[in-house]
Chain A
Amino acid sequence: MGRCGGDRQAEHLPTRWPQLLDPGTLEAVVLTMGSKQTVFTREQLEEYQDCTFFTRKEIMRLFYRYQDLAPQLVPLDYTGCPAVKVPYELIGSMPELKDNPFRQRIAQVFSDDGDGHMTLDNFLDMFSVMSEMAPRDLKAYYAFKIYDFNNDDYICAWDLEQTVTRLTRGELSAEEVSLVCEKVLDEADSDHDGRLSLEDFRNMILRAPDFLSTFHIRI
């Protein structure tokens, strides 16, 4: 029951889902037919709309941004779900990400294999979570994963050091960095095991007044 099965006429008539052929859906089909997009099937677009916080127009816009990153690599027809990954170097050179000190971590967290090379699904996921419509909990979960540099599901002192060093571009002395990390663990580590679990992190970040406004990428 793949969504990208060999049915090439899928973009014109939803022959797979006969129970959706009531008048309301036919109208929707007629409207879609008038819009001339041939990149996705109608179901694909609807599924993307249900699984991300984007509207149809935004999804199409995102697709074209993705395609622009690697025009040779990304086909203009996604009805067959091609398995295409855009390498990390191109993702990291997007204007929205290129000045971000955590761009590598972001790409790694949202990519399939943790190597930073992203498929379109990963790309949409990433911007959906970073959009302003995403709820706090979801953002907190992904923020935790981003700041967990060694992927051990805990933010330990080394992770904190990495974060602080990247935030200050190495301008703080080692002593100052370790002081900051100590203070963070002091404040947020409630079970006193020397590192932050997801619970500790969520507890701390959900009360921050400017978390939502800073953890936001506009595209």
Chain B
Amino acid sequence: MIANVKCKPWKMEKKIEVLREAKKFVSENEGALGKGKGKRWFAFKMMMSKKWAKFLRDFENFKAACVPWENKIKAIESQFGSSVASYFLFLRWMYGVNMVLFILTFSLIMLPEYLWGLPYGSLPRKTVPRAEEASAANFGVLYDFNGLAQYSVLFYGYYDNKRTIGWLNFRLPLSYFLVGIMCIGYSFVVVLKAMTKNIGDDGGGDDNTFNFSWKVFCSWDYLIGNPETADNKFNSITMNFKEAITEERAAQVEENVHLIRFLRFLANFFVFLTLGASGYLIFWAVKRSQEFAQQDPDTLGWWEKNEMNMVMSLLGMFCPTLFDLFAELEDYHPLIALKWLLGRIFALLLGNLYVFILALMDEINNKIEEEKHVKANITLWEANMIKAYNASLSGNTTGPPFFVHPADVPRGPCWETMVGQEFVRLTVSDVLTTYVTILIGDFLRACFVRFCNYCWCWDLEYGYPSYTEFDISGNVLALIFNQGMIWMGSFFAPSLPGINILRLHTSMYFQCWAVMCCNVPEARVFKASRSNNFYLGMLLLILFLSTMPVLYMIVSLPPSFDCGPFSGKNRMFEVIGETLENDFPSWMAKILRQLSNPGLVIAVVLVMALTIYYLNATAKGQKAANLDLKKKMKMQALENKMRNKKMAAARAECRSLQPVDSNFLSLPEDQKSSFPSSSKVMTHVKFQRTSFGEQLLCSTLDGIPDVFINEGCLSPPRARKISMLL
């Protein structure tokens, strides 16, 4: 009772009275039982539980305070509504995921190699080759991630394949492999967790039961204490209502079916043409870049060198606008049109991605072929060196000691580093394209509209071009695909998560500024999904599609023979076997070898498949039962409504009975006016007091109870007067 008094909806005085009585009661009884010691233990327990509750609350406050950019997102929310803010929330969530990936790769791969591995220049793989040394520190070379950047912890090729390094005996190759797998695993877990959390939010898709009620009663944020924010909130609430009303009304529009169907067919035809053209363009750019690769790098301009990346970025920029244009023909409901647009952009970007991967696989195969030639050359070179060494030993003893500088050793092509470099370059060019687009497309346009409006023929702000709206779907898809790149490339370039962190960080600030400064809120706001699950689903798909090539490469391609932590092995995953052999006690190795017996593995896979099937069937059954129950509830509610309507009708008839002297009843005006005379007789008057007023119940000849609801001022004397009347 004492603990619950604060939860009662009473005035303070009443609460304090009740509290005092309860305390008196408690202390009297405890005094009677004479439990002095027990009381102290009880008090101690209470104190500990209070302290624990306080600690939990403080911790929650701390956690909430740690979340970055909360104010920025709130400001955007208040000005643009929740759908634009959802992009920034998504960006922040990605930032968190990438932060974990960065911490994993940095602390378990890059830092150990930097601290305990052999330094730059000590091994051939860690040194810039003599031929490139002159230009190794040029900005142009570094920008391409060649030169000094290539021979550093940023890329795969730098790492040594020694089994343990440093005084801690840190097993770097094992760590590299495991961190790579863990990154992928962690990403899957985190995306799936987010999706399952949001499934609960979706409420089984039946969120429309209290749509307007929630908008009316839950939309004002009582935390607002700033007049500008309040203004923003009022605007956003108004917009929200208008959008909801439009949605209500849009359900009632007629269409001309045949024309619509023809236009939609035409629009889809154009979209196919565009997708085909984009695919061909990328294919052509790949062929051209292969030609350029044969030529001497110095004869190529900037465009030729970066043609592939630029073509992909530009396609990603312009094709969605084309799709938007074609969607004008289709005339779908905005929500459906949004879904079609997203699907088409997704297909475009997916096509781009896979053409890119095909090009890469081509390159990799070329490099592997080249390796064979280089291996042959190296054996020759080594033979020469040995001859020279022997000669120096047996010949002049006063000459300088025989020494081969690591920079002079001929190098094998390192396909993993090449893959890493491609992804890093693609990410960087993507970032630049995005920022330049925002600057030119949004900022310069806004400046132009704002300042040239004074001296222009038509109103720039309302007509064309006007300010840009924030393109939520385009930005979210770009974010998703960039993340796909990161997942693909981070095994071969451990620095990629770090670069991405930097990119997301600056993106956040830059885009927040751009949104607040250059964009206007959309006129019609339709979210692709209430709970973000649509975008998370796409993210999951991209995650799956990006890890497939990586896993394929790990499992089936031989690592380069002279660079990276797996050099010398036949396949990269052999590092696991090696660790099991050498580092674990022999009995464990035996057990694990038994476990990897094919028969056992097949049995486990079968059991997992059966479990999945069973869980799926259960889930389906439960969903069906859920829908059934909902249907029943709806029927029940309908029935109740019908019954209440009947009662209301009967009430109206009952009201038609005229009392002899209406002064005795203090009924509100609307009830008074509906008092025509009638022949029905009220047989029975019951007086009931309820907590919120007093109700007068009367029943008619039909036996249907009727209700006069009074404003709480009907006192017993009055009720008696009524019964006398009747």
Contact = CB atoms under 8 A, between A and B. Distances in A.
Interface of A: 1, 3, 17, 19-20, 22-24, 47, 50-53, 55, 95-96, 98-102, 112, 121-122, 124-125, 128, 130, 133-135, 137-138, 141-143, 147, 152-153, 160, 163-164, 167-169, 171-172, 176, 179-180, 183-184, 187-188, 190-193, 198, 201, 204-205, 207-211, 214-218
A152 B710 CA distance: 10
B259 interface: no
A141 B9 contact: yes
Interface string B220-237: 111111110110001001
Contact of A99 (B216, B218, B226, B640): B226
Given A99-B230, A192-B641, A204 B210 contact: yes
B212 A169 contact: no
Interface in B202-258: 209-227, 229-230, 234, 237-238, 241-242, 244-245, 248
B209 A51 contact: no
Given A50-B2, A141-B9, A192-B648, A205 B220 contact: no
B12 interface: yes
B31 A217 contact: no
B27 interface: yes
Contacts of A99: 224-227, 229-230
A211 B229 CA distance: 19
Contacts of B373: none
Contacts of B242: 172, 176
B97 to A, nearest CB: 24
A94 B238 CA distance: 25
Contact of A125 (B7, B12, B36): B12
The 7 closest A-B pairs by CB, nearest first: A121-B12, A99-B230, A192-B644, A183-B212, A153-B692, A51-B15, A168-B238
B645 A192 contact: yes
B680 interface: no
Contact of A55 (B40, B54, B245, B644): B54
Nearest to B15: A51
Given A204-B210, A208-B210, A218 B223 contact: yes
Contacts of B210: 187-188, 204, 207-208
Contact of B217 (A24, A143, A171): A143
B219 A51 contact: no
A11 B367 CA distance: 87
A142 B209 contact: no
Given A22-B39, A172-B241, A208-B214, A121 B13 contact: yes
Nearest to B711: A152
B7 A137 contact: yes
A184 B224 contact: no
B222 A95 contact: no
A57 to B, nearest CB: 11
A135 B3 CA distance: 13
Given A180-B212, A180-B241, A188-B213, A102 B220 contact: yes
B16 interface: yes
A31 to B, nearest CB: 12
Contact of A22 (B36, B216, B221, B711): B36
Contacts of A153: 692-693, 712
A18 to B, nearest CB: 10
A3 B16 contact: yes
Contacts of A98: 225
Contact of A51 (B16, B241, B248, B712): B16
B220 A172 contact: no
Among A50, A102, A138, A218, the one with the most B-chain Cβ atoms within 10 Å of its Cβ is A50
Contacts of B477: none
8 contacts: A19-B27, A100-B230, A101-B220, A153-B712, A180-B216, A187-B212, A192-B648, A217-B222
A19 B201 CA distance: 52
Given A184-B212, A201-B217, 8 more contacts: A47-B19, A50-B2, A147-B217, A163-B216, A192-B640, A208-B210, A214-B223, A217-B223
Among A17, A55, A100, A147, the one with the most B-chain Cβ atoms within 10 Å of its Cβ is A100
A160 B242 CA distance: 17
Contact of A168 (B2, B27, B241): B241
A188 B209 CA distance: 8
A198 B9 CA distance: 13
B12 to A, nearest CB: 4
Among B211, B229, B241, the one with the most A-chain Cβ atoms within 10 Å of its Cβ is B241
B222 A100 contact: yes
A50 B5 contact: yes
Contacts of B644: 191-193
Given A100-B222, A209-B201, A218-B223, A168 B213 contact: no
A41 B547 CA distance: 67
A215 B234 contact: no
Contact of A167 (B9, B19, B216, B244): B216
A50 B21 CA distance: 13
Contacts of B689: none
Given A50-B6, A180-B241, A187 B221 contact: no
Interface of B: 2, 5-9, 11-13, 15-16, 19-20, 27, 31, 36, 39-40, 43, 54, 57, 201, 209-227, 229-230, 234, 237-238, 241-242, 244-245, 248, 637, 640-641, 644-645, 648, 692-693, 711-712
A16 to B, nearest CB: 11
B163 to A, nearest CB: 54
Given A47-B16, A204-B213, A176 B245 contact: yes
Contacts of A218: 223
B31 A19 contact: yes
Nearest to B47: A24
Among B36, B219, B237, B648, the one with the most A-chain Cβ atoms within 10 Å of its Cβ is B237
A176 B221 CA distance: 22
B248 A95 contact: no
Nearest to A101: B220
A194 to B, nearest CB: 8
A164 B27 CA distance: 51
B74 to A, nearest CB: 12
B236 to A, nearest CB: 10
A55 to B, nearest CB: 7
A51 B19 contact: yes
A102 B210 CA distance: 22
B223 A167 contact: no
Nearest to B651: A193
Given A24-B43, A51-B16, A99-B230, A172 B238 contact: yes
A22 B36 CA distance: 8
A124 B31 CA distance: 33
Contacts of A164: 216, 241
A208 B217 contact: yes
Among B11, B54, B214, B242, the one with the most A-chain Cβ atoms within 10 Å of its Cβ is B214
B225 A96 contact: yes
Nearest to A51: B15
A184 B216 contact: yes
Nearest to B707: A193
A167 to B, nearest CB: 5
A123 to B, nearest CB: 9
A30 to B, nearest CB: 15
B12 A51 contact: yes
A19 B220 CA distance: 49
A79 to B, nearest CB: 15
Nearest to A155: B217
A51 B13 CA distance: 10
Contacts of A187: 209-213
A190 B640 contact: yes
Contacts of B217: 143, 147, 163, 201, 204-205, 208, 211
Contact of A53 (B6, B13, B230, B648): B6
A179 B213 CA distance: 12
B223 A51 contact: no
Contact of A184 (B36, B201, B213, B248): B213
Contacts of A102: 220
